[in-house]
A and B are shown apart, each in its own frame.
Chain A
């Protein structure tokens, strides 16, 4: 408890590579939830002990595949109702996971617990520069209220420049119908 400021949490955690369960890295972090204005995202400071795996090869493979598509990529329901994701869509899903992490961070309070539930829709947006751009409609599940929040997010990505969410907005519940 920090008077007049908020609540600070000190965390020790282990990061696990989704694609390689044996690859883990220790991490320490400090999260400060602000008192008062709940519309400000919590402050996060972190240190990673060691290095994250190099993913250049996979990044470039994906990048080149999308760059060489004749028509812009369009897909929906990732995963499908049964939980299946086609191999070509795996990177699209991973990108959404990362980007949704940013959206979740920006919208979290001490009383929320968000998870990405599903990608309803994704559309690639043509760009003249070297970046890839995807317009996602995702569903976020919030554990305490059990609500499903449709959320739109515009995601930019480049193998060397990483992920950026340039725009995001919560959608009305019936945006899906």
Chain B
């Protein structure tokens, strides 16, 4: 494509140029409209490559002189396009969101995310795990003079559910990449703060990378180190120890020695307790099963706002299905899944957080916990 510079001398030349612009659908750079072409005034037209010769012939025929301002538009565009490694990159360059990452990489990612998005993101200390690792959450918050309600989301409470931390990372990336251009997201952030805990059960997650891919619980030692791990999602103070648990450490659903016996549970509970009057929604991400679960697991008695809870959840499931046709079942855990007590979702609702949901992401058992990486993107996109 070329850009030509023409100064029409007569009214006939102006008319001819206007005719050419409209019949050949040329791209007027100056002026903007054909009706503003005047004799004696500068005219800049971009001509698509296939039409360049035809146009020049026509100009010659009508004795209209021209100069080539830009001989190759594409070349100019290429030269001036900022390269990938610009300092305005919102997300860490090269971070692959369609792969599973070990904990050290996730720690690095959090630091990097905060660095490249410091106007919106701050990393905060939440607590320590039983093996003394630091738990961090990310706060995504648009500066404003009004106090905003909070949406809390945690991932990776069960070690083997790798798609869960993958989703939290994806979620953060999506928000940061699109908040300026996506009106839904920018409206969100005007009114709400997002708090994201990418990996709650850090010790367990690391253990599932290094030793046992199907590990579920945390790594707290019991019985003199002969048995390990409490199910953190049975350890919260919501009808703790009453149903759907085991008091035996060797079980996958061991509820611990008491409610909030685990440091990871306490770290989350203490924080949420402190902020509870501002928290609108508590989300906890698991896999697998394709469910959106509402309270309660410990009883079939419906929560006080169960109609509203169900309405919102059903809307979410419908939106999710709209993307790739994936179907999610919606309802109280005790009715559609199994009974359990001490879950974080039940606890959040019991202390007064109105909207509390557990998401069980893909799939329905074909791959189960070991979901192949090519499903990370569609799972995250539909859940988003």
Contact = CB atoms under 8 A, between A and B. Distances in A.
Interface residues of A, number: 23
Nearest to B376: A83
B214 A141 contact: yes
B216 A146 contact: yes
Interface in A17-34: 18
B214 A139 contact: yes
Nearest to B246: A145
B330 interface: no
A82 interface: yes
20 contacts: A77-B213, A79-B372, A80-B370, A81-B209, A81-B370, A82-B370, A82-B372, A82-B373, A84-B373, A115-B368, A116-B368, A117-B368, A117-B369, A118-B370, A141-B214, A145-B251, A145-B253, A146-B252, A146-B253, A173-B250
Contact of A84 (B212, B216, B368, B372): B372
Interface string A58-82: 0000000000000000000101111
Nearest to A142: B252
B366 interface: yes
A117 B214 CA distance: 9
Contacts of B213: 77, 81, 118
Interface of A: 18, 77, 79-85, 115-118, 139, 141, 143-148, 173, 176
A33 B369 CA distance: 28
B250 A79 contact: no
Contact of B338 (A80, A81, A118, A144): A144
Contact of B373 (A83, A115, A143, A176): A83
A146 B216 CA distance: 9
Contacts of B231: 146
Contacts of B208: 81
A92 B100 CA distance: 25
A147 B212 CA distance: 13
A23 B265 CA distance: 46
Interface of B: 99-100, 208-209, 212-214, 216, 231, 246, 250-253, 289, 338, 365-373, 375
A80 B366 CA distance: 14
B94 to A, nearest CB: 18
Nearest to A78: B370
Contacts, number: 58
A106 to B, nearest CB: 18
B370 A83 contact: yes
Contacts of A173: 250
Contacts of B209: 81
Nearest to B100: A82
Contacts of A116: 368
B135 to A, nearest CB: 23
A84 B366 CA distance: 13
Of the candidates B209, B338, B368, B371, the one having the most CB atoms from chain A within 10 angstroms of its own CB is B368
A146 to B, nearest CB: 4
A1 B309 CA distance: 34
Q: Which 3 A-B pairs have the closest CB atoms?
A: A83-B372, A115-B365, A146-B252
B72 to A, nearest CB: 45
A118 B214 contact: yes
A117 B370 contact: yes
A117 B216 CA distance: 13
A83 B253 contact: no
Contacts of A147: 251-252
Given A82-B100, A82-B370, A115-B365, 11 more contacts: A80-B370, A81-B100, A82-B99, A82-B373, A83-B371, A83-B375, A84-B373, A118-B213, A141-B214, A141-B369, A145-B251
Nearest to B244: A144
Contacts of B252: 145-148
A79 B100 CA distance: 14
B17 to A, nearest CB: 57
